[in-house]
Amino acid sequence: MSRATAALVAVLLPSCLSLVAADPIDLDTLRQLRAEAAHRQRRIIFNNDGDDVIYTKKEPTAEALLALRTTPLLGSQVDSIFYSNSLCFGHALHRSEVMEPFTNTADMFADNGLPQLLERGLDPIAVMAQFGREHGIEVFWDMRMNDTHDAMIGGYGPPLRPTLKLRHPEYLVGAADKQPPHGTWSSVDYAVPEVRELCYRFFEEVCQKFDVDGVEMDFFRHACFLRSVAWGGRAGEEELAMMTDLMRRIRAMTEVEGMRRGRPILIAIRVPDSVEYCRGIGLDVEAWLREGLVDILSGTCYFRLNPWSTLIELGHRYGVPVYPSLSDSRVQGQARFQRNSLESIRARALQAWDAGADGIYVFNYFNPRGPIWHELGDPAELRTRDKLYFVTNRDGNPQTYLAGGAEYQTVPILTPNRPWAVPADEPVETVLAMGEDPAAAAARNLDMTVTCHVRLLGGDDLTVSFNGKALEPPTRVDDWLDFAVPPDYLQRGANRIALQARAVAADPAAEVWAETYEAGELPAAPWQKMGFGPGTVAEIQDGKLLIADRSTEGGSYAFFQYPCFIQPADETVLQVRLKQLAGWSSVMFENGTSGEEVQFYPDRVVARHSGLSHAMDTTDGFHTYRVAMQGESFRVYADGALILDGEGKFTRPAWNGRSGVMFGASNSPGVGEGLWEWVGVRNRAVTMTDLAVSVKYAAR
């Protein structure tokens, strides 16, 4: 414990003692009990985001609320429930004097049961805490430190915005009409003293009113805390000190309240898994651990930056247990194999256990009857269950919250939106951590079947080796190549997979299309449907493909993606036959480094990011548009004539390192529609869009 925190406890202690009811304890005893509680068994931590109160129709009783997500957990491996009971920094899903209870029952919140529960004297946190006491399950109050669903679309947005933010726009990092490049405009700015004071009061009230075992500060939902960082900077020493001081105040308060009630209140945090990244956004996590301000550490959400061992070694260095956070996968373009499958979740959990985790933290999985709650907490049992390993399970962009944040990412990223080239001159390699133990399987009379699945575009002549041993030629299943892996090739821990394409002599001047689409049916694999929310259409009309976005709502778009790896040094061509009808349609192209969007308006063609424009009638019939890109240049042709010369202008960074081409009506918040007759992609690279290893067990 730092001197600063001890001083705060000394200041707060006199006022606390006047509130003591029974069996108070002294500070030394509290800290001893806290250390013991911090290291209790937590096989699985279940994060309940509190939506059980809001979205499901139910009777206004404790039993009905618990039946949704809590009572069915009895008998499972869940030892802790972290109950997320606040919204958007200011709204509470409990009775509060310092927060605003969220009582909205309009539209998508018609089933919000909080008003009726409170009328009956039932508070969701108290209900959860009582359940935990009765059944030996630890219950924490979880606060998302900057939940920004109030800036989103699709029914969220304004209805979720607390009065606090409406009255004090100066507390926010931006505005709806002045959105920062990093983070979300509705994030509160913790550099504002009033914001930090409110945050402290939120935690103080919960600790004084509710019999929780601890509080969690979720710094990854969402990870924007400072105006300076949101607008492209990095947190300075003064800003880091402000956040650390807030942590000290909350720690001191939990000690005071813990002494008063005779039982400790633990502090858990969920953060990005890089000390440097955390410092960049304003969180001096290592200083917090060093000072003893944190009892439980969990990490990752939208993205993972490092192997699990990095976070685990950090926590254990300071005697703090670590719980890797397994969030639902949001990787787009998945086909045959799913990252949210039971087999994939098992693999992710075993990887974390093998890295030294103290338990598993599960986020955004809400079926309390799902088998994961009875499996993930037992690594020995997981070892002989069917599993599915991916190179990458979540591919969110670290630069969403920090300029240059991708520099801290050391784990490989391979997803359908982030493909890899498979070269012919030398193998491309990746390392996959696996927890299989062939000897343990044999001891239980189980046979293992291991298969390496590679999803490939632009070729199918591929060689693969597993830990230096060549695999036999594959079988093809749709656009996947399945390579059988002898079980004795596997290693518990790191497994090296190397892939190499066969060199093919080709005339670089020949017009050989790697992929084409001809209207008549809707685009199918390998084309991926992206977006297509309300107000968007894709249908065959008179033998042509109509793609329309008729919604002006922000975030509406409709396009098809071919997620090929584009080598910047090679010339790559995207060619389309299009008749524009109204508004604008688009083609987009990215090579992992740079990206551009060409927009087709009724009276002109525009390169959106380069500022180039050419006047022409795009509605008088079908025109052939050709985009040729290479290096830092691109050129656009219409019916064979050069109309946009982007020499040296192909420099805008690709979103999240993405590679591939897209076509459609990606024009939020405008509208547009066009008829597409033909699309072709000329690309020399053999592209791997995904890799998975499946392990199946069967009794002998």
50-106 confidence digits (pLDDT tens):
999 999 999 999 999 999 999 999 999 999 999 999 999 999 999 999 999 999 999
- Token pair of 209 as six digits: 């009113």
- What strands, in cross-sheet order, belong to the sheet with 462-466? 428-434, 493-501, 462-466, 469-470
Give the model's pLDDT for residue 455: 94
- Among 191-195, 349-353, 478-482, where is mean pLDDT lowest? 478-482
Cβ-based neighbours of 504, under 8 Å, separated by 6 or more: 424, 459, 461
| 3-class DSSP state of 595 | strand
Q: Write out the H or E segment, with its range, that includes residue 13.
A: helix 3-17
Please report which confidence band the pLDDT of residue 43 belongs to, taking 50, 70 and 90 as the band edges: very high
Would you kindly state where each structural domain of the chain is located, as residue ranges? 3-405, 419-506+687-699, 515-682
- Token pair of 412 as six digits: 């490989």
Please report which confidence band the pLDDT of residue 17 belongs to, taking 50, 70 and 90 as the band edges: very low
Q: Which residue has the higher pLDDT, 170 or 506?
A: 170
How many DSSP H helices and E strands does the chain contain? 16, 36
Please report which confidence band the pLDDT of residue 563 belongs to, taking 50, 70 and 90 as the band edges: confident
Pairing of strands 558-562, 360-363: unpaired
Give the model's pLDDT for residue 502: 83
Question: What's the CATH architecture for 419-506+687-699?
Answer: Sandwich (2.60)
Complete DSSP assignment for 272-314: -S-HHHHHHHT--HHHHHHTT--SEEEE-SS---S-HHHHHHH
Give the model's pLDDT for residue 3: 60
- Among 278-287, 590-599, 604-613, 649-658, where is mean pLDDT lowest? 649-658
- Mean pLDDT of the 575-582 span: 97
| Per-residue pLDDT tens digits for 239-261 | 999 999 999 999 999 999 999 99
Please report which confidence band the pLDDT of residue 508 belongs to, taking 50, 70 and 90 as the band edges: low
d(CA 564, CA 218) in angstroms, rounded, equals: 36
Q: Domain 515-682 falls in which CATH fold?
A: Jelly Rolls (2.60.120)
Report yes or no: 540 and 546 within 8 Å, Cβ to Cβ. yes
Give the model's pLDDT for residue 4: 57
Chain-centre distance of CA 86, in angstroms?
20
- Check pLDDT > 50 for residue 20: no
Find residue 47's DSSP bridge partners.
82, 363
Q: What percent of the chain has pLDDT over 70?
A: 95
d(CA 355, CA 568) in angstroms, rounded, equals: 37
Complete DSSP assignment for 480-532: EEEEEE-GGG--SEEEEEEEEEPP----TTS---SEEEETTS---TTSEEEE-
Give the model's pLDDT for residue 272: 98
- Token pair of 491 as six digits: 């290693």
Chain-centre distance of CA 32, in angstroms?
36
Give the model's pLDDT for residue 424: 87
Residue 589's nearest CA partner among 652, 678, 526 is 652
Give the model's pLDDT for residue 610: 94
d(CA 605, CA 300) in angstroms, rounded, equals: 42
Please report which confidence band the pLDDT of residue 9 belongs to, taking 50, 70 and 90 as the band edges: low
Give the model's pLDDT for residue 19: 39
Chain-centre distance of CA 605, in angstroms?
35
- Check pLDDT > 80 for residue 153: no
SS3 string, 316-350, reads HHCCCCEEEEEECCCCCCCCCCCCCCHHHHHHHHH
Report yes or no: 565 and 553 within 8 Å, Cβ to Cβ. no
Chain-centre distance of CA 213, in angstroms?
28
d(CA 557, CA 599) in angstroms, rounded, equals: 14
Residue 84's nearest CA partner among 53, 38, 114 is 53
d(CA 682, CA 513) in angstroms, rounded, equals: 5
d(CA 83, CA 139) in angstroms, rounded, equals: 7
- Token pair of 222 as six digits: 């969402």
Find residue 145's DSSP bridge partners.
none
- Token pair of 39 as six digits: 């290291």
d(CA 141, CA 85) in angstroms, rounded, equals: 7
d(CA 284, CA 247) in angstroms, rounded, equals: 10
Give the model's pLDDT for residue 333: 84
- Token pair of 621 as six digits: 């019939």
Report yes or no: 684 and 422 within 8 Å, Cβ to Cβ. no
Residue 459's nearest CA partner among 218, 282, 683 is 683
Tell me the C-alpha to C-alpha distance, in Å, between residue 331 and each of 144, 397, 415, 655. Answer: 23, 11, 7, 14
Report the top-level CATH class of 3-405.
Answer: alpha beta
d(CA 609, CA 625) in angstroms, rounded, equals: 18
| Per-residue pLDDT tens digits for 302-311 | 999 999 999 9
Report yes or no: 5 and 248 within 8 Å, Cβ to Cβ. yes
Supply φ then ψ for residue 79, to 5 degrees: -100, -15
Q: Do domains 3-405 and 419-506+687-699 have the same CATH topology?
A: no
Q: Which residue has the higher pLDDT, 570 or 28?
A: 28
Output the pTM of the full model: 0.89
- Check pLDDT > 80 for residue 383: yes
Give the model's pLDDT for residue 156: 80
Question: Which amino acid is residue 421, in one-letter code?
Answer: A
Give the model's pLDDT for residue 479: 86
- Token pair of 212 as six digits: 């929780």
- Average pLDDT in the chain: 93
- Mean pLDDT of the 499-521 span: 79
- Check pLDDT > 90 for residue 11: no
Supply φ then ψ for residue 287, to 5 degrees: -65, -40
Residue showing tokens 């036999």: 472
Instruction: Report whether the peptide linkage leading into residue 60 is cis, meaning its omega lies within 30 degrees of zero.
Output: no
Angle between helix axes 3-17 and 237-261 (nearest 10 degrees) is: 40
Report yes or no: 692 and 453 within 8 Å, Cβ to Cβ. yes
| Per-residue pLDDT tens digits for 337-354 | 999 999 999 999 999 999
- Among 159-163, 215-219, 664-668, where is mean pLDDT lowest? 664-668
- Token pair of 480 as six digits: 């996947």
Compute, in degrees rounded to 10, the torsion defined by CA atoms 545, 550, 555, 560. Answer: 0
Q: What percent of the chain has pLDDT over 90?
A: 84
Instruction: Report whether the peptide linkage leading into residue 321 is cis, meaning its omega lies within 30 degrees of zero.
Output: no
Give the model's pLDDT for residue 535: 87
SS3 string, 47-64, reads EECCHHHHCCCCCCCHHH
- Among 48-52, 149-153, 419-423, where is mean pLDDT lowest? 149-153
d(CA 462, CA 104) in angstroms, rounded, equals: 57
Q: Which residue has the higher pLDDT, 175 or 14?
A: 175
Q: Write out the H or E segment, with its range, that includes residue 226.
A: none
Report yes or no: 686 and 501 within 8 Å, Cβ to Cβ. yes
